[in-house]
């Protein structure tokens, strides 16, 4: 029985260590990426996985070694994995609607560019004009709906 506890403790430690390594990779991604969309991807995908691995390791450790099963830990695991991607999706959606800067490969001439296909060559001026056109279309739609609501009242 003691050997089984030691093996499970080792597996729990490995899960917690993997969660820590993935959290470190997530932090590096947040610092290195250029725009809100890439940063949201780095922060959501890998940090959700790191929290999942860490909490599973803690849950398994305490269940086997102390005989204590934590429902709070299980619920926090479920809710973090449900709410984190949804929340970051809403942040990215709001950034897109506000015309946030989108990084393209040829914005900065470096060896470590990592985004989109080779066919997309947009200058910063084109990106700004596209964001301005999106904003104008949104304003037109908003004012049209606002006027329709006034007429109905």
pLDDT in tens, 107-120: 554 444 444 444 45
Q: Looking at residue 113, what is its pLDDT?
A: 46
Alpha carbon distances (Å) from 74 to 18, 40, 69, 119, 122: 19, 25, 9, 46, 46
pTM over 0.85: no
Q: How far apart are CA 128 and CA 35, in angstroms?
A: 14
> What are the structural domain ranges in the chain?
1-102, 120-152
Q: Looking at residue 18, what is its pLDDT?
A: 95
Q: Looking at residue 19, what is its pLDDT?
A: 94
Q: Any long-range contacts for 115-121 (C-beta under 8 Å, 24+ apart)?
A: 115/38
Burial of 99 (0-12, 13-18, 19+ CB in 10 A): middle
pLDDT > 90? residue 67: no
Residue 76 contacts by C-beta under 8 Å, 6 or more apart in sequence? 55
Q: How far apart are CA 102 and CA 43, in angstroms?
A: 17
What tokens appear for 146 in the block?
Answer: 């606002």
Asked if residue 57 lies in contact with residue 16, where contact means CB atoms within 8 angstroms, the answer is: yes
């Amino acid at each position: 029985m003691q050997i089984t506890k030691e093996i499970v403790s080792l597996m729990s430690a490995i899960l917690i260590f993997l969660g820590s390594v993935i959290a470190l990779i997530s932090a590096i991604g947040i610092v290195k990426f250029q725009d809100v969309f890439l940063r949201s991807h780095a922060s959501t995908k890998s940090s959700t996985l790191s929290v999942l691995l860490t909490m599973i390791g803690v849950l398994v450790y305490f269940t086997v070694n102390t005989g204590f099963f934590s429902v709070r830990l299980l619920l926090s695991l479920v809710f973090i994995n449900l709410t984190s991607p949804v929340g970051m999706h809403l942040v990215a959606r709001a950034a897109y609607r506000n015309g946030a800067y989108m990084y393209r490969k040829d914005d900065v001439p470096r060896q470590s560019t990592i985004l989109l296909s080779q066919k997309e060559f947009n200058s910063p001026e084109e990106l700004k004009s596209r964001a301005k056109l999106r904003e104008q279309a949104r304003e037109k739609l908003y004012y049209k709906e606002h006027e329709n609501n006034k007429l109905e009242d």
